[in-house]
Structure 1
Amino acid sequence: MAQAKPGRSDRQLSPEKTAAILQGGMQEFLTRGYAATSMDRVAIAAKVSKATVYSHFQDKEGLFNALIRQLVNQKFQSIFGAEDEQLLHRDPQLVLREFANRILDVGQSEPQFLNFLRLIIGESGRFPQLARAFVRNIEQTTFRRICHYFTHCPHLHLADPEATARIFVGSLVHFMIVQEMLHGKDILPMERDRIIGTLIAMIVEGRSPAA
């Protein structure tokens, strides 16, 4: 069957229809996986025509990328409560603790985000473009701003701010994945405050809290 072509009247969707399509897409992807999801099923879930879905998102990959952008922006943009220049003048221990807690809060309080992350990891072998899109969006909304902070904060004197930013984010993401996705709470339990406190001490003071 030929793919539906966008009609002129469908090009400008209402916010309600856009939200319905994104919600329907999320539901289908999480239920069926990327490969088994079709735009037909998304249209049925969203209660709109297939032509409407195609006119706004072109294809399944476009819809998935839109979901990535929405999820990353919603969950990770909120990590930064202040503008970059304001953050530079605050105590770095307080700033980094807020960053860390907000990142880990996403994993503990947002099961949909973790389920979506599972989907991306699980499908990354067959559909590497999905993982690339996720990493690009994370880099734009989270890593880049943390790297900027490490580079310009006058209270920190880091030999390699970019590598330090990757260590900071990577440690927290690893902790989130192990604890929340791989049942680490039962196998390798550890309080988040220990991870956060040690990580910040190593970055800010170059030592462990017990030193």
Structure 2
Amino acid sequence: MVNRSTPPQSSNPEKPDKAQAILAGALPVFTKHGYAAASMDRIASAAGVSKPTLYNYFQDKQGLFIALIHQLTQNNSQLILSLPTEPDLQTPPEQVLRQMATAVLEEFANNPALLTLMRLIIGESERFPELAQTHVREIIKPLMERLSLYLASQPQLKLSDPVVAARIFTGSLVHYLIIQNILHGSEILPLERDRMVNGLIQLLTAGEAEGAV
């Protein structure tokens, strides 16, 4: 069995990676049927593999779902996990945070599957609390911890609580995505992406700006 949260890598690049084929087949099944009705039989059929092969790569549906989230959030995760945890005198935090916020919002805008999975996780969280908790524990928590460490390592920001600042940063982006995309509120509460990002960065770097005066 493989780790339930990490997509396995193919050891033979000349052969199709069945794990990736399974993940590719699982996405439309989860999208069409939701988490509860997305059976392993349906996923195996969509992926073109046998059910034993499916279980050989992923021990259960929850592990497969978390692996799919890992795959779809890989770009954003790598961006955040690559943040330095020591003072960076070369790149201003304003630039780093702006690039990160823009990249995250662009990734969601260009990859509708991410929004679909967000809807699924939120919608199924009451019936499947363990699924939601696993998502928080294995994906969100490491990213929040890394972002908090980065913010704490930038004394020029003068943040009294980097953990809260990290929550404000990520929470603002998630709230923006939910209102604009998931709840279809872009026409009711219009807010341009760049304006949102600029305001958020100004909020987090206010202490740095005051210190420069």
TM-score w.r.t. the length of structure 2 is 0.83
Q: Look up the equivalent residue of 2:146 and give its one-letter code.
A: R
CA drift at 1:131: 1.3
What residue number does 1:148 align with?
Answer: 149
Instruction: Measure, in 2, the Cα distance between the counterparts of 1:131 and 1:198.
Output: 30
What residue number does 1:119 align with?
Answer: 120
Q: How does 1:54-69 map to 2 (within 5 A)?
A: 54-69=55-70
Q: Look up the equivalent residue of 1:65 and give its one-letter code.
A: I
Q: How many residues align?
A: 197
Q: 2:141 aligns with which of 139, 142, 145?
A: 139
Q: How does 1:79-94 map to 2 (within 5 A)?
A: 79-80=79-80, 83-84=83-84, 88-89=88-89, 90-94=91-95
What residue number does 2:26 align with?
Answer: 25
Q: Does the alignment pair 1:70 with 2:87?
A: no
What residue number does 2:190 align with?
Answer: 189
CA drift at 1:28: 0.9
Question: Residues 111-133 of structure 1, C-alpha deviation per residue, up to 9 Å, x if partnerless?
Answer: 01101111111111101112112
Instruction: Measure, in 2, the Cα distance between the counterparts of 1:175 and 1:109.
Output: 15
The farther-off stretch of 109-118 and 56-65 is 56-65
Report SS of the residue matched to 2:36.
Answer: coil
CA drift at 1:66: 1.6
What residue number does 1:169 align with?
Answer: 170
Instruction: Return 5+ residue gaps in structure 1 as ranges.
Output: 6-10
| Aligned-pair Cα RMSD in Å | 2.5
CA drift at 1:107: 2.0
Please tell me whether the aligned partners of residues 97 and 201 of structure 2 are also in contact (alpha carbons under 8 angstroms): yes
Instruction: Return 5+ residue gaps in structure 2 as ranges.
Output: 2-7
Give % identity: 47
Q: 1:118 to 1:93 in 2, by over 3 A?
A: same
Instruction: Measure, in 2, the Cα distance between the counterparts of 1:167 and 1:188.
Output: 20
TM-score w.r.t. the length of structure 1 is 0.84
Instruction: Measure, in 1, the Cα distance between the counterparts of 2:194 and 2:50.
Output: 49
